[in-house]
Amino acid sequence: APYPISVAGTVVKGFGRGSKELGIPTANMNEEALEEMFTEFTTGVYYGWAQVGKTDKTVYPMVMSLGWNPYYKNEKRSAEVHILHEFESDFYDESIRIIVTGYIRPEQNYPSLEALICDIKTDIEVAKHSLKRKAYDDLRNDELFTKNQ
């Protein structure tokens, strides 16, 4: 896919797999945004920028997992965005805007929770590092984020 790609949607309830309990809450995107993303991207882990709601103008780094849920016999897909920021409260039903700047790796089935968490921590480091590049940093001023009021 030709990056960067912008997607706007809303935050919906996820599968309740307890991502938050692992310290990695993921904002699940609504069905329409999912539809758009699955036509643009293959499954896997991506990184980029995210902005949430109407009052907070900040653009945060994010990592996003796009995939099929094994628990639902791979019949349910999801786009889950983990934002690299500690929010004071949940933001279900809020609007969410993301710019995907690149692909990190394919999805994997993990033998253990430790292995999964270890990979996610690496993804986060990759995202933080890559997003410092000027061309990526400039995207924080993209119309998608600034036109929001």
- Total chain residues near ligand ADP (CB under 6 A): 20
- In this structure, what is the dihedral angle of CA atoms 15, 67, 123, 90, given to the nearest 10 degrees? -30
Buried b (16+ CB within 10 A) or exposed e, 94-120: eebbbbbbeebeeeeeeeeeeeeeeeb
Other beta carbons within 10 Å of 82:
23
Other beta carbons within 10 Å of 72:
11
Smallest distance from the beta carbon of 52 to ligand ADP, in angstroms?
Answer: 8
Residue 102 CB partners (closer than 8 Å, separation 6+) = 3, 46, 47, 48, 130
Stretch that binds ligand ADP, among 9-17, 40-48, 68-76, 108-116 (CB under 6 A): 9-17
Question: Which residue in the shown chain puts its C-beta closest to Mg ion?
Answer: 14
Contact between 85 and ligand ADP (CB under 6 A)? yes
Nearer to ligand ADP (CB atom), residue 55 or residue 134: 55
Contact between 101 and Mg ion (CB under 5 A)? no
Stretch that binds Mg ion, among 20-28, 37-45, 61-69, 116-124 (CB under 5 A): 20-28
| DSSP letter assigned to residue 134 | H
Selected binder of ligand ADP within 3, 38, 68, 91 (CB under 6 A): 91
Residues at the contact surface with ligand ADP, assessed by CB under 6 A: 11, 13-20, 25-28, 82-83, 85, 87, 90-92
